[in-house]
Amino acid sequence: MDSANIERLLIGQHPLMHRIHSLVRKVAATDATVLIMGESGTGKELIARAVHSWSPRESGAFIPVNCGAIPAELLESELFGHEKGAFTGAVRTRPGMFSLANGGTIFLDEIGEMSAPLQVKLLRVLQERQVRPVGSDREIKIDVRVIAATNKDLGEEVRQGRFREDLYYRLHVIPLHVPSLRERRSDIPLLVEHFLAKLNLRQGNAGQSNSVRISEEAMVQLWEYDWPGNVRELENLLERLVILTDKDTIEVDSLPSNVRSFVSSRHGGVQPTLGEDGLDFNRAVEAFEDRLIGEALRRTNGNKQAAAKLLGLKRTTLVAKLRRRRSPATSDLVV
C-alpha cells in the first residue's frame, strides 16, 4: 500500500482519526517504540506501516510478524534466526525477522499471544539492541524500530500475570489506541465511497456506466451496523457485493441478513417469531402493547386520557394495562 493510500484511509472525518493522524506523523519522526491497541480489523498494521513510511527509516524494510499465527516453538527462530543444526530441520543458517528488519521497522502483531519465555528474550533484545540466533553463541547488533500491536487489554494481561510488566512498559512508550469503526461511525460513508471507488477501479468499472454505486438507504444501513469486524469486515463485504451484484446499485435487499436484522432490531422493526423453542406469548404481546402505549404517551406528553383516545381505548383500560406492566416504570415509556 502506498503512502497516499495510507494517508487517505487514516484521515477520516472523525476527530479521533485527525488526532491519530497527527500522532502518527509526529511519532514517525522519532525512533520511539509504539504500542498500537485496537480491536481486530481496525487497521493496526496500516498504522504501523504509516509510522514506518513517514519515518527516516522509510527506505529500510518493514517486516510484519504475527506472533499469534506462528507456533510458539518456532517463533523464537523466526524472530531471531537460527544456526545450521540448531534443531531438527535447521538444515542451514537462517537470519531472523529482526535481522531482516535491520535499518527498518519490525511490526510485532498480536504481541499479547507471545509465550512467557519469549517475552523475556524480547525484553533483552529491546534493552540491548542485539539478538542471539537459536543455536548461536554470538550476539548480532541490530538497528530496528519496534512497533507492537494487540487486540487484548495488555494492562489487564499484566494484572492477570500473563504478560510481563517490564516488557509492557518497554513497549508502551507511545500508546496508540485505534478506535473501532462503530466508535467513528461518521467515517463509514467516506470509507464506503473509498472502497467502492477502489473496487470499481480494480474491476475496470471506474468512471464507466457500469460502475457499482450504493443506494442512500443501503448506505444508511451500513452506517448503522455495528461492524464487529471493523474496517476489514466493511471492505470484505463491499468486495463481495461488488463482485456478486448484477445491478449497478447496491440496494438494501443485497445486504447480508445479519446487517439488515441488526439495523431493523435497533429500530424496533423485528417481529416476534415462533421458533423451534416456541416463544413467551404474553411477553411478546406485552412488548407490542408497550411500544404502542409508549408512542401514544410520548405524543400526548404523558396525558393518559389523550393517549387512551389515540389508541381507541377507555382511559380505565389504559390505566389497567399500565398497572399490569412488569417493568419498567410507566413514566419511562415517555422516552
Partner 1 sequence: MLIVDDQAAAREILTRKLSRESIRTVTADSGRECLKIVRSAEHVDVILLDVSMPEMDGIEVCRELAKEDRTRSIPVILLTALDDHDYQIRFQGMNLGVSEFMTKPVNWKELFTRVRGHLRSRALARQIDQTLAGLPERGGE
Q: From the CB of 299, what's the least distance to partner 1, in Å?
A: 8
Crossing angle for the helix pair 281-299 and 304-311, to the nearest 10 degrees: 120
Among positions 25, 129, 198, 309, the unique one binding partner 1 when judged by CB under 8 A: 25
Stretch of 114-122, 173-181, 195-203, 305-313 contacting partner 1, by CB under 8 A? 173-181
Per-residue HEC secondary structure of 210-251 comes to: CCCEECHHHHHHHHHCCCCCHHHHHHHHHHHHHHHCCCCEEC
Among positions 240, 291, 314, 315, the unique one binding partner 1 when judged by CB under 8 A: 291
Give yes or no for residue 331 binding partner 1 (CB under 8 A): yes
Among positions 258, 268, 281, 285, the unique one binding partner 1 when judged by CB under 8 A: 268
What one-character-per-residue DSSP string does 87-151 give? STT--S-EE-HHHHTTTSEEEEETGGG--HHHHHHHHHHHHHSEE--BT-SS-EE---EEEEEES
Question: Please, are residues 103 and 57 in contact by the beta-carbon 8 Å criterion?
Answer: yes
For partner 1, the closer of residues 30 and 136 by Cβ is: 30
Within 203-262, the residues that bind partner 1 by CB under 8 A are: 216-217, 219-221, 223-224
Q: From the CB of 56, what's the least distance to partner 1, in Å?
A: 10
Cβ contacts of residue 109 below 8 Å, gap of 6+? 44, 45, 64, 65, 66, 67, 68, 148, 149
Give yes or no for residue 30 binding partner 1 (CB under 8 A): yes
Binding site for partner 1 (CB under 8 A): 13, 15-16, 19-20, 22-23, 25-27, 29-30, 174-175, 177, 179, 182-186, 189, 216-217, 219-221, 223-224, 266-269, 290-291, 294-295, 298-299, 301-302, 328, 331-335
